[in-house]
Amino acid sequence: MSSTIVALASRTAQVRRKTRETDITLHLNLDGTGASNIATGIGFLDHMLTTLARFSRFDLELTCAGDLDVDDHHTAEDCALALGAALDQALGERRGITRFGHAYAPLDEALARVVVDLSGRPWPEVDLGLKRERLGTIATENLTHVFQSLAIAARCALHVDVLKGANDHHRAEAAFKACALALRQAVAREGDDVPSTKGVL
């Protein structure tokens, strides 16, 4: 009896992003267990990124020192850009991935749907339908911007729709959970081909 051990390429990435507005260090492992250590300086954003890591089963370490004395915009945007860049880097030429993913996630009365295509072409369509001005210390408009920035930097089509829900915390968290589940499906290994009729993504 014989056995063959095939070593899979590591799908990890490290990103250092330093500007006059933020200083970010990030490590991502697509084939992790959902472990995370996140400190952005914005409690609700930490909660959402922890949720994203947990349900995508990505290991994610992210620290950010941002100009929160100005507001939360630069920190939210740049953390999402760094995460998207890490996702793009970790996927490499995107060979052997499922490519497409979709998921629904409820949180009590809220229900979110996310569909993703790791196409190499960035296109965000995001409708969270949030009514409150802020959740914790983050402006709700910047939660939409997180998804938009993630899609652009990761070079993927990302459709995020919250279908129902009266509580904005529940609506936002359902969206991040659905995004995590869709990404987990899309990055899953499936053969060795580049999943495109063009032969490249």
pLDDT score for 4: 38
Q: Which CATH architecture has domain 12-187?
A: 2-Layer Sandwich (3.30)
Beta bridge partners of 15: 26
Q: How much of the chain, in percent, has pLDDT values that exceed 90?
A: 89
Q: Is pLDDT above 80 for 197?
A: no
pLDDT score for 7: 42
Q: Is pLDDT above 70 for 54?
A: yes
The span from the CA of 179 to the CA of 84, in Å, is: 13
Q: Is pLDDT above 70 for 160?
A: yes
Here the tokens at position 15 are 């990103």
**Cα pseudo-dihedral 174, 175, 176, 178, rounded to 10:** 80
Confirm if 138 and 102 have CB atoms less than 8 A apart.
no
Every domain of the chain and the residues it spans: 12-187
Here the tokens at position 179 are 């995004």
- Mean pLDDT computed over 8-28: 93
Q: pTM score, two decimals?
A: 0.94
Sign of CA dihedral 163, 180, 185, 92: positive
- Chain centre to alpha carbon of residue 137: 20
Confirm if 9 and 36 have CB atoms less than 8 A apart.
no
pLDDT score for 8: 52
pLDDT score for 191: 78
Q: Is pLDDT above 60 for 129?
A: yes
Q: Is pLDDT above 50 for 5?
A: no
pLDDT score for 2: 39
- Mean pLDDT computed over 162-174: 98
